[in-house]
Amino acid sequence: MRIQTTPNTTITELANGGLTILSPTGRVYAGNRMTAVMWVALAAESGDPAAAAKDIARHYRVPATQVRADLDHFVGALRGAGAITATP
């Protein structure tokens, strides 16, 4: 699966290391530093959640299964808000 932002989604990195995501439906998500880490990893891996999870797990030395579960939850919330789309 690959994800990409939908048109009119706005992502803003914050001074505290977090981020906000404004979806085209008007929903706003405020994320902490780890949310920003997940977003940056997704961008670095061309929207591939599996590859992003492996990168994060390796960097932070945490179980890849936990990172993938957290990342899947994050991606699911953004898909539900219309901020991103996923393609096989």
Q: Phi and psi dihedrals of 13, rounded to 5?
A: -80, 135
Q: Among residues 5, 69, 70, which one has the least CA distance to residue 34? A: 70
Other beta carbons less than 10 A from residue 44's beta carbon = 12
Q: Which domains does the chain have, with CATH numbers?
A: 2-82 (1.10.10)
Amino acid at 42: L
State the Cα–Cα distance between residues 44 and 52, nearest whole angstrom: 8
User: What pLDDT does 88 receive?
Assistant: 84
For the chain, 88 residues long, the average pLDDT of each consecutive 10-residue run is: 94 95 93 94 95 96 96 93 91
Answer for the pair 46, 40: CB distance below 8 angstroms, yes or no: no
